[in-house]
Amino acid sequence: MSLKQSLRRSIIGEISRLEKGLIEAREDLEVLKSLNTKKALYIIELDSMWEKEGEQSIDFEHFGELSDSIKKAEGRFKSVNKRQDIQANYTVQVRIGERNYDVPKKYWRK
């Protein structure tokens, strides 16, 4: 196989992957129409800033409201790490269809 043939195969594969992603995104747009954000599955990741010193990061899933999901994740983080405060980087996502989407900070940052 020549270099051009290999590149062509690679480009065709990329086109297929992108087309599949577009189909899935369109399906998620349909699911979004009926999404109740007060009863959704939220995925919260709290990556500890002190992990190198032995502290644990957590991944937390909760079905309910966004604010409750974050509070419960923070409670778990404090309990696991025996802390009163939170020194972590947050990743907040919501499940729509089969995929997770980032929730912009303006909707959950205090």
Question: Which pLDDT does position 14 carry in this prediction?
Answer: 97
Q: What pLDDT digit, counting tens, does each position of 45-101 carry?
A: 999 999 999 999 999 999 999 999 999 999 999 999 999 999 999 999 999 998 999
Band (1; pLDDT cuts 50, 70, 90): confident
Cβ atoms of residues 100 and 91 within 8 Å: no
Give the 3-state secondary structure percentages of the chain, helix then strand then coil, rounded to 5.
Answer: 50, 25, 25
For residue 71, how many other CB atoms are within 10 A of its CB?
13
Q: Could you tell me where the beta strands, DSSP code E, fall in 39-83? A: 40-48, 58-64
Please choose, from the candidates 22, 24, 93, 25, the residue with its C-alpha nearest in 3D space to the C-alpha of residue 62: 93
Q: What pLDDT digit, counting tens, does each position of 3-60 carry?
A: 999 999 999 999 999 999 999 999 999 999 999 999 999 999 999 999 999 999 999 9
